[in-house]
Amino acid sequence: MPTERRNAILSIIDQYGDVSLSFLCDLFPDVSSMTIRRDLIYLEERGLVVRTQGGVMSIKKLSNGNVMSPSNDENEYNFRAQQNVHAKQLIAQKALQFIKKNSSIFFDAGSTMMALAKILPNDYMNVISTGINVSQELVAHSNINVIIPGGTVNRATLSVSGTDSLAYIDKVNIECAFISASAFSLDSGFSVSNMYEAELKKKVISKAKQTIVLLDSSKIGKTLLFTFADLNSVDVLVTDDEVSDSLMRAAKEANTIII
């Protein structure tokens, strides 16, 4: 319902002070960006928000002189990190069985990857990660060699991507890649909202001997702008809940294991 959605959008804006349009579109993937824009116009006309270039700011926070000090992108990452925490921890525990000593592993960015990094044993291995905070977590392990490819940092996801990252991935051999996705549907596959991150994920999957996607069930049945893989490209899909019969059939046809 429009009223419920607008109330939810207003609550998010009031909580974080200011957010970007792309962030709101990620949170409400079932409606178009134009619908979100109309919702923001509706809220602005009622004096509840102020639209900015590429985003929106809370009137309540401005009135109180209490806009949060971190950047908008930092707020976006923190918001995502606080969502579905138990599901991410469960996925991380399931994924741990695929970690092997003395191997070359790729860790994607994202809060689910962070959950896995937190429980990783201090075994000898090489880990390439595009996640800034994931790398920081892993570097505390004395036996893990941590490598961060060069590239441009996306503050909203705390990840690096771009031509430098692609060039580096071209040079390395990856035994097992742990990939995150922002959405998945049978029609569109695994997708994200950032084109450069999608291209990097494609490159990593093409280089990896085994690809494991970590995806919490709240993202299943949704689609974002850039698809980076379909089920045929993925060896294992790790999620936190039972999946539909249609997804199980599609996974079986693609020889993809779901756990």
Question: What's 85-258's CATH class?
Answer: alpha beta
Residue type, 59: I
Give the global pTM. 0.71
Dihedral of CA atoms 127, 94, 202, 196 in degrees, nearest 10, equals -80
Residue ranges in the chain assigned as alpha helix (H):
2-16, 21-27, 33-45, 59-64, 72-81, 85-95, 111-118, 132-138, 163-171, 195-207, 245-253
CATH 3.40.50.1360 in the chain, residues?
Answer: 85-258
CATH 1.10.10.10 in the chain, residues?
Answer: 2-81
Fold of 2-81: Arc Repressor Mutant, subunit A (1.10.10)
Task: Please report the pLDDT score of residue 157 as a whole number.
Answer: 75
pLDDT tens per residue, the chain (259 residues)?
Answer: 788 888 888 888 877 777 888 888 878 888 888 999 899 988 888 888 887 767 788 876 555 544 443 444 445 555 555 556 788 889 999 999 999 999 999 999 988 999 999 999 999 999 999 998 899 899 889 999 999 998 888 777 788 988 899 999 999 999 999 999 989 999 999 999 888 999 999 999 999 999 999 998 888 999 988 999 999 999 999 999 888 999 999 999 999 999 9
Dig out the tokens for 146 from the structure: 């941590």
C-alpha R_g of the chain: 19
